[in-house]
Amino acid sequence: MEDYGYNKWVDYIEKIFGKLNNTPSTVVDIACGTGNMTVLLAEKGYNIIGIDNSEDMLYVAKEKSLNRGLDIPFIHQDIRNLALHRPVDAITCMCDGFNYILSDIELLSIFKKIYELLNRQGILLFDISSYYKLSKVLKDNIMADASEDISFIWFNTFDEQDDICCMDLTFFVKEGYRYRRFDETHYQRAYNLNDVKTFLANSGFSNIQVFNPLTFDSPKIDSHRWVFIAQKM
């Protein structure tokens, strides 16, 4: 994720809030991972909670926040069973979080739950890897990267029947004078842009907008990423 540019994304998120004339007080960052975005938003003054399904990632996120003098609540929770003590002003899900939801039914269910958990005028803001990226750019592609401390090989296949991209990754992590190998497999669903908009509308959201990353330009068919905004009016 080194090329994601978290600071630029945080600035962009604030521009979106400005565009909507809505500055949220309470924010929940779901699928927050190791908390890069969560921490930066907290430093901007937002009252924020981070939620993720990986305890290992949440441990890193908590350490990261404490090292920067922040005491952000991080909660271990599957976003398919999202639950909060009280409604909030905004919910974010960045860096492909919803691509990991593999079925239409589950994604629609999550959107409906998020709608319930937002205050009036509340904002849902998320980005996903586009259909083009997963089905054309990553499809059957092999990538590799090597540095002194960590190297990886990344194999991709795309199932055109289920619209699911399978990513097999092999890592080599330096530990002393040796490298430890470990493997991961990730599955991401490639969604059609109009289908996602329909799911949002069917969940009750309005003012649904889609943009190219870091801009307010209309999305393109060959964009690698789409940014969605929806409000509970």
Residues 23 and 67 in one domain: yes
Residues 28 and 100 in one domain: yes
pLDDT of residue 140: 87
Residues 15 and 98 in one domain: yes
Residues 31 and 95 in one domain: yes
pLDDT of residue 1: 58
Is residue 1, in this structure, part of any structural domain at all?
no
Is residue 35, in this structure, part of any structural domain at all?
yes
> In terms of pTM, does the model score above 0.85?
yes
- Residue range 182-197: mean pLDDT, rounded: 96
pLDDT band at 31; cut points 50, 70, 90: very high
Among 10-19, 171-180, 191-200, the minimum mean pLDDT is found in: 171-180
Residues 73 and 105 in one domain: yes
pLDDT of residue 148: 85
Residue 140: give its domain's CATH number: 2.20.25.110
Is residue 147, in this structure, part of any structural domain at all?
yes
pLDDT of residue 146: 86
Residues 95 and 141 in one domain: no
Residues 16 and 64 in one domain: yes
Give a three-class secondary structure readout of the chain: CCCCCHHHHHHHHHHHHHHCCCCCCEEEEECCCCCHHHHHHHHCCCEEEEEECCHHHHHHHHHHHHHCCCCCCEEECCHHHCCCCCCEEEEEECCCHHHHCCCHHHHHHHHHHHHHHEEEEEEEEEEEECHHHHHHHCCCCEEEEECCCEEEEEEEEEECCCCEEEEEEEEEEEECCEEEEEEEEEEEECCCHHHHHHHHHHCCCEEEEEECCCCCCCCCCCCCEEEEEEEEC
| Tens-digit pLDDT profile for residues 80-119 | 999 999 999 999 999 999 999 999 999 999 999 999 999 9
Residues 171 and 204 in one domain: no
Range of the domain at 173: 133-188
Looking at the structure of the chain, the number of domains it has is 2
Residues 119 and 18 in one domain: yes
